[in-house]
Structure 1
């Protein structure tokens, strides 16, 4: 259920985990079968397709008891293509269209590396319905901007196309869906188009390398060694991209771009019945009669692969990251599944809180965090990141491991658990309060992500009800949190990477040793929680005065300077109703910069 919060409570800098899936040229991918085995499609022209009844059952919730979001309307066409449409008037007049294909870079063979991303580029050039470059011009006439309103992205497990129509009409949506149906079914993958687009894709490939990208590639190669994800970046490589021909790229398209692997999403200021009929009208003619290909095997974490790796990137901080990995498996998105996942989240939040406290009190590390995630249907992992406070990274790793070991040795107090629950509860109540202001484009994007991770969506209230029911059932108790902590730090393979500023031939062995060293007794005594109320805080003093006001540009922004030197920027926006965003930035000791985004 995508609406439930997932992130750890205390994110660190751009950590190793965040670098695992560094976006490269809008996209990402694992192997399938050789392009020689990609049979040519047997496509039935639209005029020959016979309309049949549409199955309007809510396919997203198959096998799930999650409360359905009643605003989504679902359907499955006779050709297997699925759709989801809804009305959303935020912002007024805009309609978001998403087309998702269940194929990314993990579906490529060794000789096809980069093809999924290449097709993403070629698809926007033209199709059987519009000449090369005409689609962009059509959408520009509708008020869109290429790159922001029209875009696409390739990941290891999917490719999706985005279109946000700022002033949508029924005829404009009809024409847009007609263009997109041609893009999916019959893109113009010609020798001329491949030759013209190849330099663009190669430029993205050449521009991608940098310290963070290289480190992220090294982390991914180490954590997922022996699996396709280890070396299947969507950007591909120069060799395969230079060797790509119209025939080989089209073979990949024809093998994986199929109606039963495609989902069309429409969310915006339009009657759902109208949107539904336009999807049916424009996508029903896409018919394939050849056998469906089987999904490739993404493999399992391999404990026989090297356990540690040393990277030298002087321009990024010294950083140690390790992963406790387990095979990924599909789980029906049920209420109990989400409630158990919430227990896991609270268990990790308790650890993150302790790590944060230790770092703030002058410990051996500046930052540290633990996270639990599924990675590209390739592994379920518990990821640990550590930024040492100095050169003694071994002590930092031991101290972080000691905090984790202590959490797995003795249960947390109910007070610790309740504090984390209170934050989750407040965050989800805020989602309930602000859902009416949620943009249609975000809801479409949320559904894309839910499809990719094989989960559902629900209302903010539905998500909160799942949490409230778990609290009422007493699921967040010390024994349950202890069991969860112990479970998530056990896996079939553990791999680690360290980044240093200078070569060290012994670092790999030392890292392996410190990850297996005895850390009992290093955690120190746990601090008891105490209640703090406003009466114990120091007085704020007399209110300050405004010394100056200054209009900024033509967008209604205003700069306000107070007598104590604090500066504030106020920026009104009507893009999201009912929301006010506050950002506070502290610069150099006492100086502060306050940025307010006010949504009317």
Structure 2
């Protein structure tokens, strides 16, 4: 991993040569929200998104996104963000015990498949998926679950004790080769940051010994409406669902003197950071090369940001094409290669080059990937590469427009979640 401050700027300038300049004011224009999405905020701070979509018919997705994760844990809570996620399925105000699972499985919504959640370092997201919308009572129950997950998880002492064993087993079985190698690389990837200390699954000593109040404190401090968003996409009446949300979630109080939701920096580095992780059970050898870059703040994700995002997609496409062409040649340095621009942590993006190495010649594979990244950095791309990438990109957009009424619910769900958590634009494919 390295930080070359001029890297993405050089690529952008090389790719955009000849594109007509926009006025600065034009690039700073806010991106409108897709008019097909009902978007609003309650007085208590809760954000909501509702979109009607009929793929599939008579089904809907019900999500609650929490803008909090393992990064906000104290040392004495290491692993409790994930533990709390488990507790959401062990009793709430209106669904005691296994009530959520028991009820929804009677209408074909299966636990672990349609009823699920995940915790990461920066967010926690819960979902009821593929929920039938054939009866209003089912819709009401799904909304009530989201309501309870927001503010009314029971956290009963006996349920906490019972869940320790479940988490221990998950901790044990989850220590596979990939996880173990990731743990080895964390101090390098996230050097100088709190991200190096939080791997979500947590510290087994904390899991075994934490006092119940530690979990309650984390829940009360961070699960609150100003850090939450409700997302409903599917075959629903938007006006009706909006009215239900306004009524049902009104009893959740706005936080008084809330704790600041901090965002932790991942520092830049002048010299490359190099990490090597090995494990006897590893199935593949993969090399990653990251060029870090600061994220664009939410308020700066304007029309100009959309333009820059397109440039990044074109760059990734052209690099991936080059690496793929290299793989097709006799005696290639690696067996697979690709590139992408992605969010590394909430405060840092990265341009990534990665390749699957040949077991008999790993060093040449590493050299080959570095060589290709350096070639891009120094010389950019030629006109034919750019023309091909633009044609592919436009064709993709045109296909999305043509298929806009055939998109699955989940696609629109994640547009809303990313808009809430990261401020990613979601203007809609027509725009």
Structure 1-normalised TM-score?
Answer: 0.63
Matched, 1:309 2:313: no
- The 8 Å contact of residues 223 and 323 in structure 1, kept in 2 or not, is answered as no
Secondary structure at the counterpart of residue 236 of structure 1: coil
Aligned to 2:73: 108
**Aligned mate of 2:196, from 213, 224, 230:** 230
Secondary structure at the counterpart of residue 427 of structure 2: coil
Rounded Cα–Cα distance in structure 1 between residues aligned with 2:374 and 2:105 = 57
Aligned to 1:250: 216
Rounded Cα–Cα distance in structure 1 between residues aligned with 2:320 and 2:366 = 14
Query: Per-residue displacement from partner, 1:68-121 (whole Å, max 9, x unpaired)?
Result: 311111221111111111211221111211111111111111111111111111
Post-superposition offset of 1:302: 4.9
Aligned to 2:116: 151
- The 8 Å contact of residues 301 and 325 in structure 1, kept in 2 or not, is answered as no
Aligned to 2:346: 377
Post-superposition offset of 1:212: 1.6
- The 8 Å contact of residues 323 and 337 in structure 2, kept in 1 or not, is answered as yes
Query: Per-residue displacement from partner, 1:433-491 (whole Å, max 9, x unpaired)?
Result: 112011224322332233233213232232xxxxxxxxxxxxxxxxxxxxxxxxxxxxx
Rounded Cα–Cα distance in structure 2 between residues aligned with 1:392 and 1:344 = 31
The change in CA–CA distance for 1:119 and 1:417 in structure 2 (over 3 A counts) is same
Aligned to 1:135: 100
Secondary structure at the counterpart of residue 35 of structure 2: coil
Secondary structure at the counterpart of residue 277 of structure 2: strand
Rounded Cα–Cα distance in structure 2 between residues aligned with 1:399 and 1:143 = 51
Which structure has the highest helix share of the two?
2
Aligned to 1:518: none
Query: Per-residue displacement from partner, 1:317-374 (whole Å, max 9, x unpaired)?
Result: 3332232223444142222211122223322322222222222112322223332222
The change in CA–CA distance for 1:166 and 1:307 in structure 2 (over 3 A counts) is same
- The 8 Å contact of residues 128 and 187 in structure 1, kept in 2 or not, is answered as yes
Matched, 1:457 2:426: yes
The change in CA–CA distance for 1:411 and 1:199 in structure 2 (over 3 A counts) is closer
Rounded Cα–Cα distance in structure 1 between residues aligned with 2:352 and 2:251 = 46
Matched, 1:181 2:147: yes
Rounded Cα–Cα distance in structure 2 between residues aligned with 1:458 and 1:248 = 41
Rounded Cα–Cα distance in structure 1 between residues aligned with 2:170 and 2:200 = 11
Rounded Cα–Cα distance in structure 1 between residues aligned with 2:189 and 2:351 = 11
The change in CA–CA distance for 1:207 and 1:390 in structure 2 (over 3 A counts) is closer
- The 8 Å contact of residues 156 and 232 in structure 1, kept in 2 or not, is answered as yes
Unaligned runs of 5+ in 1: 1-62, 463-600
Rounded Cα–Cα distance in structure 2 between residues aligned with 1:200 and 1:411 = 51
Structure 2-normalised TM-score?
Answer: 0.86
- The 8 Å contact of residues 63 and 146 in structure 2, kept in 1 or not, is answered as no
The change in CA–CA distance for 1:182 and 1:351 in structure 2 (over 3 A counts) is closer
Post-superposition offset of 1:401: 2.5
**Aligned mate of 1:422, from 391, 396, 399:** 391
The change in CA–CA distance for 1:270 and 1:390 in structure 2 (over 3 A counts) is closer
Aligned to 2:291: 324
Output aligned runs, 1:96-495, within 5 Å.
Answer: 96-164=61-129, 165-303=131-269, 307-314=273-280, 315-331=282-298, 332-362=300-330, 363-389=332-358, 391-462=360-431
Rounded Cα–Cα distance in structure 1 between residues aligned with 2:143 and 2:405 = 27
Secondary structure at the counterpart of residue 455 of structure 1: coil
The change in CA–CA distance for 1:305 and 1:294 in structure 2 (over 3 A counts) is farther
Post-superposition offset of 1:156: 1.4
Give the superposed CA RMSD. 2.2
Secondary structure at the counterpart of residue 89 of structure 1: coil
Secondary structure at the counterpart of residue 312 of structure 1: coil
The change in CA–CA distance for 1:135 and 1:402 in structure 2 (over 3 A counts) is closer
- The 8 Å contact of residues 65 and 417 in structure 2, kept in 1 or not, is answered as yes
Secondary structure at the counterpart of residue 309 of structure 1: coil
Output aligned runs, 1:3-22, within 5 Å.
Answer: none
- The 8 Å contact of residues 120 and 200 in structure 2, kept in 1 or not, is answered as yes
Unaligned runs of 5+ in 2: 1-27
- The 8 Å contact of residues 364 and 390 in structure 1, kept in 2 or not, is answered as no
Rounded Cα–Cα distance in structure 2 between residues aligned with 1:444 and 1:307 = 36
| Range that drifts further, 391-400 or 275-284 | 391-400
Post-superposition offset of 1:316: 2.5
Secondary structure at the counterpart of residue 236 of structure 2: coil
The count of aligned residue pairs is 400
Post-superposition offset of 1:122: 0.8
Rounded Cα–Cα distance in structure 2 between residues aligned with 1:388 and 1:336 = 37
Rounded Cα–Cα distance in structure 2 between residues aligned with 1:219 and 1:366 = 23
The change in CA–CA distance for 1:180 and 1:400 in structure 2 (over 3 A counts) is closer
